[in-house]
Amino acid sequence: MAGRTHEDPRKRWTGDQTTFQRVYDVLVGTADAVSARQFAEWAECSENGARGALEQLVEMGIAQRTDSRPAGYRRNPSYVRWKRVETLVREHDESELRARLEDLLETDRALQERYGVPGPDAVTVPDDPTEGHDELHERWEDLTEWRTIRRDVPLLKRAVQRLASSNDGRARV
């Protein structure tokens, strides 16, 4: 577009979002506990602003606070799972989720047969593999997919239950 300057995305982020919104955005991408000071740096705000937002998020059940000194904050994994189920319910109908669930369960069964073990953590990868690079890479891809399936199946089951419990197959928001 002629005459339009390209604005720095970081300036747009700090200008368009409140401190609370920026801290929330950082939090949902943070699995490990970190200090309010680190959140302040990442969210480009004051340490007191970050701490205040983090304490609100703890009260809301979205974040967890550690008892360490200084206190660390991380996302609440239960909240992340709940949020994912709610997104699935909002964006899909029951038949779509049931079909996806069946596909994942079938792939899980196929991987169990292929490796002869009940789950991905039971697959051993030798320190000095006799297989070639391509075979080893394929095995790692299979194990990554299998772990993802094992993570997604319970979420899909919960979403299907939520939809099935509503009268019309769509959860009410």
Q: What is the pLDDT of residues 98-150, one digit of tens each?
A: 999 999 999 999 999 999 999 999 988 766 666 677 888 888 899 999 999 99
Predicted confidence at residue 16, as pLDDT, reads: 83
- Scan for tokens 């299979």, then name that residue: 142
Predicted confidence at residue 4, as pLDDT, reads: 46
Predicted confidence at residue 128, as pLDDT, reads: 64
User: Is residue 102 within 8 Å of 172, Cβ to Cβ?
Assistant: no
Q: Is residue 160 part of a domain?
A: yes
Q: Is residue 173 part of a domain?
A: no
Is 10's pLDDT higher than 90? no
d(CA 164, CA 173): 14
User: Is residue 149 within 8 Å of 104, Cβ to Cβ?
Assistant: yes
On average, the pLDDT of the chain sits at 87
Do 37 and 69 have their domain in common?
yes
Q: Is residue 106 part of a domain?
A: yes
Last residue in a domain, options 37, 58, 75: 75
Last residue in a domain, options 25, 55, 75: 75
Predicted confidence at residue 57, as pLDDT, reads: 97
Do 68 and 86 have their domain in common?
no
Q: Which residue did the predictor score with more confidence, 172 or 57? A: 57
Q: Is residue 2 part of a domain?
A: no
Q: What is the pLDDT of residues 13-58, one digit of tens each?
A: 566 899 999 999 999 998 899 999 999 999 999 999 999 999 999 9
Do 71 and 102 have their domain in common?
no
Token representation of residue 67: 């008892």
Q: What is the CATH number of the domain that holds 13?
A: 1.10.10.10
Q: How far is CA 159 from CA 80, 82, 92, in A?
A: 14, 10, 9
The average pLDDT across 148-170 equals 87
110 residue type, one letter: A
Do 94 and 122 have their domain in common?
yes
pTM score, whole prediction: 0.71
Do 27 and 89 have their domain in common?
no
Predicted confidence at residue 173, as pLDDT, reads: 44
Domain encompassing residue 160: 81-165
Do 52 and 100 have their domain in common?
no
Confidence of residue 169 (pLDDT cuts 50, 70, 90): very low
Do 50 and 111 have their domain in common?
no
Last residue in a domain, options 52, 75, 98: 75
What residues are paired with 34 via a beta bridge? 73
For a pLDDT cut of 90, what percent of the chain falls above it? 72
Q: Is residue 170 part of a domain?
A: no
Predicted confidence at residue 28, as pLDDT, reads: 92
